[in-house]
Amino acid sequence: MSTPATTTHVPVVIVGAGPSGLLLGQLLHKSGIENIILEQRSPDYVLSRIRAGVLEQVAVEMLEKAGAAERMHAEGLPHEGIELLYFGKRHRIDLKALTGGKQVMVYGQTEVTRDLMDVRAAAGLTTVYEALNVQPFDFLEGEKPRVRYEKDGQTHEITCDFIAGCDGFHGVCRASAPADKIKTFEKVYPFGWLGLLSDTPPVSEELIYASSERGFALCSQRSLSRSRYYLQVPLTDKVEDWSDEAFWEELKRRVDPETAAKLVTGPSIEKSIAPLRSFVTEPMRFGRMFLAGDAAHIVPPTGAKGLNLAASDVGYLWQGLVDFYQNKSEAGIDSYSEKALRRIWKAEHFSWWMTMLMHDFAEDGGFNAKMQEAELHYIFTSENGARVLAENYVGLPM
């Protein structure tokens, strides 16, 4: 990288303009802490990512504090329960009754990102899109880390107090951490999710998690007129192997007859296959650089925890930085990694548990199927069993 054409100072440099980076930037702005966001992709590319759509109360509250919740409250769909479909029979988990009034909000991650982009732009805050070759320096020791990037053929450098790595699983921040100071934990599952997005009304008012002898399926939604459906598929499958017609027919085979009869089909807007993995990085702080969101952890989507964990990471980091700048205390940033990881591992466990509970693991000779049967029978017949699922699904407190 060439000699910088410009050098500036900003207290906090955020790498990544996904929902975690944008949320952190807006919360810091609301607290009077100047920040800049660097994103290697274009705004349109960032908005093209089709991701999660279920928000815990913690995530809802973070968006409210960021001033980015107005459209969510107007268009989002509060859900008080979910349904588990096990070999043809649906069982409702009453989230609200089992958790003392808590619920979740169905509102797509694309819309969350769009709202955060809009409030950041309205506030006149700086986001540098298509910032190439971003590289953090001097974050392990000292008090003045640097971030370099290229834009329009010129090299720029920013000195700062802190770097927030919100740049995802493949981002540069985690990759820049010294190998002898980082530890990772990973589990890769032997299947993926084939997802289809369509402008069709949802088949049910609440999400349906289906376990069948043909494999897992999920009937989800983004709005009253847009639906998101998933099928468990082998990792060897390709998107081009699945026509829309084949997808709809297979989905009907994995749900109960009533749901299949009500299903409204239509052309796909987006179709993709996502592998499932569990992944955690420890620690989440390296001197003056912090990791948050997918840069630090990945969960299988079965528990709907990815975006929600990012929001809680951001909440802890925001509180720590506010404590630093307003109270001259390092207690919050010193405890960030420990606090975040404590909640992350609980969510990792729930996501792993839900994945093991609802998917077909044919390669294990049927043992997992018997474990599923025993566990689901307990959930369906025990209020305490159902409550454990419900408390984790709506989100554990920070």
- What digits encode the pLDDT tens for the residues 313-359? 999 999 999 999 999 999 999 999 999 999 999 999 999 999 999 99
CA–CA distance, 2 with 47 (Å, rounded to integer): 31
pTM over 0.75: yes
From the number of C-beta atoms within 10 Å of its C-beta (0-12, 13-18, 19+), residue 111 rates as middle
Structural domain 190-275+362-394, CATH architecture: 2-Layer Sandwich (3.30)
Q: How far is CA 68 from CA 30, 71, 116, 223, in A?
A: 11, 8, 6, 18
Q: Are strands 183-198 and 227-233 parallel, antiparallel or unpaired?
A: antiparallel
CA–CA distance, 35 with 315 (Å, rounded to integer): 16
So where are the chain's domains? 6-78+104-186+277-354, 190-275+362-394
Q: Which residues are catalytic?
A: 79, 209, 301, 305, 393
Contact (Cβ atoms closer than 8 angstroms) between residue 219 and residue 207? yes
pLDDT one-digit tens code per residue, 207-241? 999 999 999 999 999 999 999 999 999 999 999 99
Asked if omega into 300 is within 30° of 0 (cis), the reply is no
At 5 the pLDDT is 66
pLDDT one-digit tens code per residue, 91-103? 999 999 999 999 9
Q: What is the mean pLDDT of residues 98-114?
A: 96
Q: What are the start-end ranges of the E strands in 117-225?
A: 127-129, 132-137, 146-151, 154-159, 162-165, 183-198, 208-212, 215-221
Closest CA to 40 of 74, 16, 6: 16
The CATH classification of domain 6-78+104-186+277-354, taken from the options 3.20.20.80, 3.40.50.2000, 3.50.50.60, 3.30.450.20:
3.50.50.60
Q: Are strands 208-212 and 12-15 parallel, antiparallel or unpaired?
A: unpaired
